[in-house]
Structure 1
């Protein structure tokens, strides 16, 4: 097995994947990605996802700890927004860079690059 001289940080990748390891958290993140940089109020996010109250608060804490989303106060509202488009992209890249690394057939023949 080929080992890179600068291996990816497994701890950071594991935290990111753990944060995405819930159907409800994926639903919340997808809603925020779809909303774009302006984000959604906590109420609108709850309506859009069907995840509300303490459950939404719990999931937002996990996503925020993984630095995938942020919450900011605007007047009396809390606005939630996805902030880590590059982080999500790098989580996929983390997996795909090793694609077919130990295989006899190069990735290009599998449609991967």
Structure 2
């Protein structure tokens, strides 16, 4: 991705009220949306989970087929979609194609969501927000 594209993505994120710095490291709001869209079906999620379980060695297309029960043409479609979304890598080894999970990208996606965990949760040592649910009857 070019620097110009990253600048445009940051402008888009800022226009939507989300600063680029608020996104997971190296991941813009648009990139996160694309990544989540890529695993947005049960079938593609099953493929990603199989590859994550396989670890860095990855799996051949035949191995993924055996683990997921998908037809070859359906699996090929999902693998192309996942590769385009940057969630998997594919490498030709002889006559076989080895697919591997893009662990860094998957970690960034998880981090994108988890960085917001409990951000709005009130804690006893934090000032109470001035909302009706936190006011007492004597507050007026």
TM-score, normalising length from structure 2?
Answer: 0.66
- Runs of 4 or more off by more than 3 Å in structure 1? 102-106
Looking at structure 1, the residues matched to 97 and 20 of structure 2 have their Cα atoms a distance apart, in angstroms, of 43
Looking at structure 2, the residues matched to 33 and 99 of structure 1 have their Cα atoms a distance apart, in angstroms, of 23
Looking at structure 1, the residues matched to 90 and 20 of structure 2 have their Cα atoms a distance apart, in angstroms, of 37
Unaligned ranges ≥5, structure 1:
107-113
What RMSD over aligned residues (CA atoms) do the two structures have, in Å?
2.1
Unaligned ranges ≥5, structure 2:
1-17, 125-140
Number of aligned residue pairs: 104
Secondary structure of 2:22's match?
A: coil
In the TM superposition, what are the counterparts of 1:26-105 in structure 2 within 5 Å? 26-82=45-101, 84-105=102-123
Question: Larger C-alpha radius of gyration, 1 or 2?
Answer: 2
TM-score, normalising length from structure 1?
Answer: 0.80
